[in-house]
Structure 1
Amino acid sequence: MRVSLRPGLASRLDYVVPAERTVPHLLPESEYFAALPAVLATGYLVAIVEWTCMRALDGHLDDGEQTLGVHVDLSHQAPTPPGSTLTVHAELGAVEGRQLTFTVRAHDDAATVCEGVHRRAVIDTERFHARLRTRTTD
């Protein structure tokens, strides 16, 4: 981790919601999801929040390092229909060893869509893959 990795780093992501990121597309094999309204799925919202947090870290990790999401505590307060622009803001609030805590919020043109906290862990990519290989079977 570089010394520049410190609280205050921030990122913004504007994301136009495509139809493929709505609830019926989340797990197409599930009839439960397929029957729900075509609005941004919470699962995709989480991924968009993670993406925004990762963007805040650009240039602040050493070669061979990445981050993985380890905790999500988000509200999903309002539906966002396809074609709407979701704007996500993330700010790094704490660096505790290899644990990074972000405060996040998102809105569209009509409402606050999301607020909460997301934590990421800095990993050594090669060491992570080596450990992962011990957990997989061929």
Structure 2
Amino acid sequence: MKDSLQPGLSARLEYVVPAERTVPYLLPESDEFAALPAVLATGFLVGIVEWTCIRALAGHLDEGKQTLGVHVDLSHEAPTPVGSQLTVEAELSNVEGRQLTFTVHAFDDAATICQGIHRRAVIDTERFLARLRRRATR
């Protein structure tokens, strides 16, 4: 890993919530989800948090390395309606070997939407893909 991969790295992502990121779209085959209100789905919120953390790492990983999410401990405290701008801030708070821990906070113009931690693991992309291919052939 590069020497620059240190606690304190951060990123901020602003995201306008489209209808396609609301609860009814989370699993379109689910009648139960389809019946719920059109607000930002927790599943999509997690993806947006991961995206922000990935951005914080830009330029700080060695060639052939990437990260994958391995743990999520996030609140989802308030609904975010379609058209609202969500702002996510992520800061790398701990580096322990290949494990990276981020502190995250997300908000819109009315409230805190989310806060918590997200962990990512640094992977060797080729090794990971080889392992994945072996699993797929079983």
Q: How many residues align?
A: 138
Q: CA offsets per residue over residues 94-130 of structure 1, 9 Å max, x none? A: 0000000000000001100000000000000000011
- 2:28 matched to 1:28? yes
Cα distance in 2 for partners of 1:2, 1:32 equals 46
Q: Where does 1:41-56 land on structure 2 (aligned, <5 Å)?
A: 41-56=41-56
Give SS of 1:63's match. Answer: coil
- 2:119 matched to 1:119? yes
Q: Where does 1:24-103 land on structure 2 (aligned, <5 Å)?
A: 24-103=24-103
Q: What are the ranges of 5 or more consecutive residues in structure 1 without an aligned counterpart?
A: none
Percent of residue pairs identical: 78
Name 2:5's counterpart in structure 1. 5
Moved segments of 4+, more than 6 Å: none
Cα distance in 2 for partners of 1:61, 1:87 equals 25
Give SS of 2:81's match. Answer: coil
Cα distance in 2 for partners of 1:13, 1:134 equals 36
Q: What are the ranges of 5 or more consecutive residues in structure 2 without an aligned counterpart?
A: none
Letter of the 2:15 partner, please give it.
Y
TM-score under structure 1 normalisation?
A: 0.99
Aligned-residue Cα RMSD (Å) equals: 0.8
TM-score under structure 2 normalisation?
A: 0.99
